């Protein structure tokens, strides 16, 4: 998938800025924070990036990667997410040492055990520890 293909598929205007942002996501196999991305675009406008990320999330190009850290991160959606539904039913791993966050597509959150009266709409499973590099 190229940046332009992703924008086409999700019916978004093709702009230089959006292509740059998607290019950065495609070159990393981990979740990225606002800051991660901003520091890789020369002359990036903070505000535009906030709006770009929000749009990408709404349209199903990226999903929030909840990792228990104070920073909000996003990762590329693997499959067929769109404006109507996200399907990111996988765990996330957060390294307490280097701060990196990875999607663990193989591990799914457990079957929903609903507490009485509560309606569960989505589930997040987060592993916190040390990544392969930091564990040694």
CA nearest to 18, candidates 31, 5, 28: 5
Which residues are near DNA by CB under 7 A?
12-18, 33-35, 45-48, 50-52, 54-55, 70-72
* The only residue of 47, 79, 84, 121 in contact with a second copy, by rule CB under 8 A: 121
Q: Encoding tokens for residue 136?
A: 């040694």
Phi and psi (nearest 5°) for 93?
-110, 130
Binding characters for Zn ion, 116-135, by CB under 5 A (x = yes): ---------------x--x-
C-alpha dist (Å) from residue 106 to 41, 88, 90, 117: 31, 11, 7, 31
Binding site for a second copy (CB under 8 A): 64, 66, 68, 70, 72, 93, 96, 104, 106-107, 109-110, 112-113, 115-132, 135
């Amino acid at each position: 998938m190229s940046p332009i293909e992703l924008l086409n598929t999700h019916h978004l205007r093709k702009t230089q800025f959006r292509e740059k942002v998607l290019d950065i996501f495609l070159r990393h196999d981990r979740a990225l924070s606002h800051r991660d991305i901003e520091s890789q675009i020369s002359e990036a406008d903070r505000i535009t990036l906030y709006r770009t990320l929000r749009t990408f999330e709404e349209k199903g190009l990226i999903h929030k990667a909840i990792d228990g850290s104070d920073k909000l991160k996003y990762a590329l959606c693997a499959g067929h997410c769109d404006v109507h539904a996200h399907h990111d039913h996988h765990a996330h791993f957060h390294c307490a040492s280097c701060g990196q966050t990875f999607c663990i597509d193989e591990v799914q959150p457990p079957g929903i055990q609903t507490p009485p009266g509560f309606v569960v709409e989505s589930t997040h499973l987060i592993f916190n520890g040390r990544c392969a590099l930091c564990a040694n």
